């Protein structure tokens, strides 16, 4: 059992670590072993690469990283990650119909889960706004993946894709009807 005194000492030590009173001196630093470095890379999903870049570009990247208060290597990771996210749709062309359908099914399931959660969230709260955005994105991406998969799918997979596209269509039709009812009042039957 941890005593109250231990907890107080941990709190004091945490402040010292954060303030760099502890852990920042070179005399206590030692390089990680190759095994430790490999374990760290595996745990973080990182891989060492070597790349040659123009010196001027490296200096500019270091300056931009400094403006954001981070090192240049994390900054390069950030820039590459953002670029890939912005162009991820291009990678979907490389998916087989089965892979595209599997990914679309997961996005569709995510959209359905969000659809049930959204009404429980406070109107106009950040949480609800983000959930609505995530819902729309998941449903839109799922539909696009299903459309791409349909063109080259085998007959069995085509039936599955048509069913999912039909379900998405029904959801969108219902949302449009709900929107029109709320905006223009209940329609006369």
Looking at the structure, tell me whether residues 80 and 102 fall in a common domain: no
Same domain membership, residue 148 and residue 126: yes
- Full domain range(s) for residue 73: 52-86
Whether 107 maps to a domain, the answer reads: yes
The whole-number pLDDT of residue 2 equals 67
Q: Identify whether the C-beta of residue 93 lies closer than 8 Å to the C-beta of residue 137.
A: no
Q: Is the pLDDT of residue 189 over 60?
A: no
Q: Which two tokens stand for residue 150?
A: 């349909």
Q: Considering 43, 66, 86, which residue would you say is the last residue of a domain?
A: 86
DSSP H/E element including 175: helix 155-184
Q: Poorest-confidence range of 65-69, 84-88, 180-184?
A: 180-184
d(C-alpha 23, C-alpha 129), whole Å: 41
Are 106 and 158 found together in one domain? yes
Instruction: Categorize the per-residue pLDDT at 165 as very low, low, confident or very high, splitting at 50, 70 and 90.
Output: very high
End-of-domain residue from the set 62, 86, 110: 86
The whole-number average pLDDT for the span 72-100 is 89
Q: Tell me whether residue 184 is in a domain.
A: no
Distances (CA, A) of 46 to 37, 74, 78: 10, 11, 13
Total count of domains within the chain? 2
Q: What is the pLDDT of residue 137?
A: 92
In a domain, 11, yes or no: no
Question: Do 98 and 81 share a structural domain?
Answer: no
| Two structure tokens written together for 122 | 């406070």
pLDDT-derived band at 102, boundaries 50, 70, 90: very high
Question: What pLDDT was estimated at residue 41?
Answer: 81
Whether residue 17 lies inside any domain: the answer is no
pTM value surpassing 0.75: no
Do residue 106 and residue 174 come from a single domain?
A: yes
From the number of C-beta atoms within 10 Å of its C-beta (0-12, 13-18, 19+), residue 108 rates as: buried
């Amino acid at each position: 059992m941890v005593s109250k005194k231990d907890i107080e000492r941990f709190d004091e030590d945490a402040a010292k670590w954060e303030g760099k009173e502890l852990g920042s001196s070179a005399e206590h630093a030692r390089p990680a072993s190759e095994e430790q470095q490999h374990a760290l890379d595996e745990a973080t999903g990182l891989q060492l690469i070597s790349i040659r870049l123009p010196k001027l570009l490296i200096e500019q990247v270091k300056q931009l990283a400094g403006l954001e208060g981070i090192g240049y290597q994390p900054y390069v990771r950030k820039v590459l990650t953002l670029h890939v996210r912005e162009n991820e749709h291009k990678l979907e062309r490389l998916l087989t119909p089965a892979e595209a359908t599997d990914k679309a099914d997961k996005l569709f399931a995510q959209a359905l889960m969000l659809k049930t959660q959204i009404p429980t969230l406070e109107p106009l709260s950040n949480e609800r706004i983000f959930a609505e955005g995530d819902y729309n994105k998941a449903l839109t991406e799922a539909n696009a993946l299903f459309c791409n998969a349909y063109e080259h799918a085998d007959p069995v997979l085509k039936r599955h894709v048509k069913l999912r596209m039909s379900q998405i269509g029904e959801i969108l039709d219902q949302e449009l009807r709900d929107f029109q009812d709320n905006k223009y009042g209940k329609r006369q039957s």
